[in-house]
Amino acid sequence: MVAKKLSIGFIGTGIMGKSMVKHLMKEKYELFIYNRSKEKAEELINNGAQWCESPKEVAKSAEVIFTMVGYPQDVEEIYFGSEGLLNNASDGVVFVEMTTSTPTLAQKIYHTANEKGLHSLDAPVSGGDIGAKNGTLTIMVGGDKEIFDKVSPILSCFGQNIIYQGDAGAGQHTKMCNQIAIATNMIGVSEAMVYAKNAGLDPVNVLGSISAGAAGSFSLSNLAPRMLAEDYSPGFFIKHFIKDMGIALEEADKMNLQLPGLELAKKLYDELAEKGEDNSGTQALIKYWE
């Protein structure tokens, strides 16, 4: 006898969430979705996802609920508001919080959920719009191991590199490591492309050489071509990256840890945002030199 699939709720059907829901739909999960802007969910609704008018309605409809929104304050509202998830879910519901947020908030959700007979995981992702579309996201998970094991088959619908990192908050701490590595790498990628142009080289040919060598990275292979094509559409918004770098710097400060590379990257991105680039993709960093 085939076990019944768990019903799934998904809050946040933006650039990445929309693609992730599509993967769940392919696997025939019963889906309940909510997004602040309903028009961004119309395609999913037309293809069979059930629209909910509020997080409260999602909480009362699904057994496993994923959330992927913009900022920690959005997470706070969705989980702790009177119309939010924690105050309206039935016993045993599992929350999987995938927004890049603070480890402290992940732990707060975890403990409050446990007090109410609920469960939560913090499971931020990396891979951007490309990883979401291809189902190849990296997923970093914190929380109880048995709950992680329970939802792993669902996570595998949109991720390939899925690693349990430890207790609540560990997923978010791991994501901070990811963002720190990306931040300074984006400076290097941008400077390499600017250098190639100023040296009179064909930057496309240069990219073909260096992306396959020791300098290779996701950003070099996937975002440098967008830089060269002057395609600054967001796979990941600058405004959200600035938020992530701010969280990482705050956490580092709590550990009395200096991160000068991250501080420089945030300074450059802050300057771009002030010039109106906050809704551009992170590859727009190259505009700093132009």
pLDDT of 285 reads 98
Q: What is the pLDDT of residues 99-125, one digit of tens each?
A: 999 999 999 999 999 999 999 999 999
DSSP state of 237: B
- The whole model's pTM is what? 0.93
Calculate mean pLDDT across residues 182-190: 97
List the domain boundaries for the chain.
Answer: 8-168, 173-288
Active site residue 275: no
CATH number of 173-288: 1.10.1040.10
Residue 7: which of 91, 70, 94 has the closest Cα? 94
Residue 186: which of 219, 218, 209, 217 has the closest Cα? 219
Residue 209 CA neighbour count, 13 Å, CB half: 8
pLDDT of 41 reads 94
pLDDT of 1 reads 44
Q: Is 29 left (phi over 0), alpha (psi -120 to 50) or beta?
A: beta
Q: CA-to-CA distance for 110 and 46, rounded, in angstroms?
A: 34
Q: How confident is the model at residue 5 (pLDDT cuts 50, 70, 90)?
A: confident
Calculate mean pLDDT across residues 48-67: 97
Q: Could you tell me the two tokens for 168?
A: 């609540």
pLDDT of 32 reads 98
- Contact call for residues 102 and 122 (beta carbons, < 8 A): no
Q: How confident is the model at residue 2 (pLDDT cuts 50, 70, 90)?
A: very low
Q: Could you tell me the two tokens for 89?
A: 């879910």
* Angle (nearest 5°) at CA 166 between 31 and 6: 20
Q: What is the pLDDT of residues 225-266, one digit of tens each?
A: 999 999 999 989 999 999 999 999 999 999 999 999 999 999
Query: Percent of the chain having pLDDT more than 70?
Result: 99
- Contact call for residues 183 and 266 (beta carbons, < 8 A): yes
The mean pLDDT of the chain is: 96
Q: What is the pLDDT of residues 194-231, one digit of tens each?
A: 999 999 999 999 999 999 999 999 999 999 999 999 99
- Contact call for residues 91 and 121 (beta carbons, < 8 A): no
More confident residue, 267 or 37: 267
Calculate mean pLDDT across residues 53-80: 96
Calculate mean pLDDT across residues 65-75: 95
Residue 90 has pLDDT above 60, yes or no: yes
- Please pick, among 175, 266, 275, 287, the residue that the annotation labels catalytic: 175
pLDDT of 3 reads 58
Q: CA-to-CA distance for 85 and 67, rounded, in angstroms?
A: 10
Q: What is the pLDDT of residues 19-44, one digit of tens each?
A: 999 999 999 999 999 999 999 899 99
Residue 173 has pLDDT above 50, yes or no: yes
Calculate mean pLDDT across residues 258-275: 98
Q: How confident is the model at residue 92 (pLDDT cuts 50, 70, 90)?
A: very high
Name the CATH superfamily, with its identifier, for domain 8-168. NAD(P)-binding Rossmann-like Domain (3.40.50.720)
